[in-house]
Structure 1
Amino acid sequence: MDDMLPAGAPRPRIAVFAGPTATILNTPDLVTSNKARVRHGLPLRPSRFDGLRPQRLAAPATLYVEAFSAHPLESDAAGLYAPPDGWVDADGAFHAERPPGEATPVYVVELDPADGLYPFPYMGRQADGSAWEETSAVPYADPVDARQTFYPDARRLYEEIERFGLADHGGPVDLGSLADFEFYRAAPSGGYTSGSEPELLGQDFFVYYPYHLQTEPSLAHLARATNHVQAVLDDGGFTGLQWLEGSPTVDETLYWLGLLIDTKVPLVGHAAQRRHQSLSADGDRNVVDGVKFIASGVTLDERGEDRVGACVVVDELVYSARDVTKADARPGGYEVTGGHGGVVADLGGYGPPQLTYLPTRRHTHRSETRLTVLPESVAGVVGRLGDVTRTEVLTKDEHGLVPTAMPHVSLTKYSRYAAKGTGADDLPVADEEVEIFARIEANLARFPLSGFVCEGMSPFGMADPVKNAALSVAVFAGMPVVRTGRGTTGGMAYRTDPTFVSGNNLTATKARLLLMAALLKFGALPPAADPFAPTSDERAATEKAVAEFQALFDTH
Structure 2
Amino acid sequence: MTGLTPTGGTRPRIAVFAGPTATILNTPDLVTSNKARTRHGLAPRPGRFDALRPQRLAAPVTAYVEAYSAHPLERDAAHLYAPPDGWLDTDGAFHTTQPTGDATPVFVVELHPDDGLYPLPYMGRQRDGSAWEEAATAPYAPSEAARQTFYPDARRLYEEIERFGLGDHGTPVEFGSIADFDFFRAAPSGGYTAGPDGERPGRDFFVYYPYHLQSEPHLGDLAGATNQVQAILAAGEHDGVQWLEGSPTVDETLYWLGLLIDTTVPLVGHAAQRRHHSLSADGDRNVVDGVKYIASGVALDAQGVDRVGACVIVDELVYTARDVTKVDARPGGYEVTGGHGGIVADLGGYGPPQLTYLPTRRHTARSQLRLTVLPKEVTGVAGSLESGVTLLGVATRDGDGLIPEAMPRVTITKYSRYAVEPGGDPQVGDEVEILARIRANLAAAPLAGFVCEGMSPFGMADPAKNLALGVAIFAGMPVVRTGRGDTGGMAYRTDPTFIVGNNLTATKARLLLMAALLKYGALPPATDPFRPTHAERAVTEQAVARYQALFDTH
TM range (shorter): over 0.9
Change (3 A) 1:22 1:122: same
Instruction: Map 1:248-259; keep pairs closer than 5 Å.
Output: 248-259=248-259
Instruction: Please tell me whether residue 509 in structure 1 is matched to residue 510 in structure 2.
Output: no
Counterpart code for 1:370: R
1:210 CA displacement: 0.2
- For 2:108, the equivalent position in structure 1 comes to 108
Instruction: Please tell me whether residue 408 in structure 1 is matched to residue 409 in structure 2.
Output: yes
Counterpart code for 2:523: L
Instruction: Map 1:344-423; keep pairs closer than 5 Å.
Output: 344-386=344-386, 387-422=388-423
Counterpart code for 1:76: D
Deviation sequence 1:279-305 (CA, Å, 0-9, x none):
000000000000000011111111111
Check conservation: 1:2, 1:178, Cα contact below 8 A: no
1:177 CA displacement: 1.2
1:257 CA displacement: 0.1
Deviation sequence 1:397-433 (CA, Å, 0-9, x none):
00000000000000000000110134xxxx4444431
Q: Structure 2 CA distance, aligned partners of 1:4 and 1:313?
A: 15
- For 2:136, the equivalent position in structure 1 comes to 136
- For 1:537, the equivalent position in structure 2 comes to 535
Instruction: Map 1:13-162; keep pairs closer than 5 Å.
Output: 13-162=13-162
Deviation sequence 1:115-154 (CA, Å, 0-9, x none):
0000000000000000000000011001110000000000
- For 1:261, the equivalent position in structure 2 comes to 261
Gaps of 5+ in 2: none
2:166 is paired with a residue of what secondary structure?
Answer: coil
Check conservation: 1:2, 1:177, Cα contact below 8 A: no
Counterpart code for 2:422: G
Counterpart code for 1:28: P
Deviation sequence 1:29-62 (CA, Å, 0-9, x none):
0000000000000011002100000000000000
- For 1:294, the equivalent position in structure 2 comes to 294
1:9 CA displacement: 3.7
Counterpart code for 2:500: S
TM-score (norm 1): 0.98
Counterpart code for 2:409: H
Q: Structure 2 CA distance, aligned partners of 1:96 and 1:469?
A: 90
Q: Structure 2 CA distance, aligned partners of 1:259 and 1:401?
A: 14
Q: Structure 2 CA distance, aligned partners of 1:99 and 1:200?
A: 62
Q: Structure 1 CA distance, aligned partners of 2:22 and 2:7?
A: 34
Deviation sequence 1:493-546 (CA, Å, 0-9, x none):
001000000000000000000000000000000000000000111111100000
Counterpart code for 2:105: P
Gaps of 5+ in 1: none
Q: Structure 1 CA distance, aligned partners of 2:24 and 2:470?
A: 42
Check conservation: 1:230, 1:262, Cα contact below 8 A: yes
- For 2:474, the equivalent position in structure 1 comes to 476
Deviation sequence 1:133-182 (CA, Å, 0-9, x none):
00000110011100000000000000000000001110001111110000
Counterpart code for 1:403: P
Instruction: Please tell me whether residue 525 in structure 1 is matched to residue 523 in structure 2.
Output: yes
Counterpart code for 2:248: P
- For 1:499, the equivalent position in structure 2 comes to 497
Counterpart code for 1:395: T
- For 1:214, the equivalent position in structure 2 comes to 214
Check conservation: 1:454, 1:484, Cα contact below 8 A: yes
Counterpart code for 1:255: Y
Check conservation: 2:23, 2:247, Cα contact below 8 A: yes
1:4 is paired with a residue of what secondary structure?
Answer: coil
**CA RMSD in angstroms, aligned pairs only:** 0.9
Q: Structure 1 CA distance, aligned partners of 2:196 and 2:470?
A: 52
1:6 CA displacement: 4.3
1:350 CA displacement: 3.2
Q: For structure 1, which segment, 503-512 or 293-302, has the greater mean C-alpha deviation from structure 2 after superposition?
A: 293-302
Instruction: Map 1:172-191; keep pairs closer than 5 Å.
Output: 172-191=172-191
Q: Structure 2 CA distance, aligned partners of 1:119 and 1:2?
A: 26
Q: Structure 1 CA distance, aligned partners of 2:370 and 2:109?
A: 55
1:547 is paired with a residue of what secondary structure?
Answer: helix
- For 1:309, the equivalent position in structure 2 comes to 309
1:7 CA displacement: 4.1
Q: Structure 1 CA distance, aligned partners of 2:498 and 2:378?
A: 20
Q: For structure 1, which segment, 194-203 or 34-43, has the greater mean C-alpha deviation from structure 2 after superposition?
A: 194-203
Superposition misfits of 4+ residues, deviation over 6 angstroms: none
1:196 CA displacement: 4.0
Instruction: Please tell me whether residue 246 in structure 1 is matched to residue 246 in structure 2.
Output: yes
Q: Structure 2 CA distance, aligned partners of 1:429 and 1:6?
A: 60
Check conservation: 1:449, 1:523, Cα contact below 8 A: yes
- Percent identity, aligned pairs only, is 77
Check conservation: 1:431, 1:470, Cα contact below 8 A: no
2:68 is paired with a residue of what secondary structure?
Answer: coil
1:392 is paired with a residue of what secondary structure?
Answer: strand
Counterpart code for 2:165: G
Q: How many pairs were matched up? A: 552
Counterpart code for 2:337: T
Counterpart code for 1:538: E
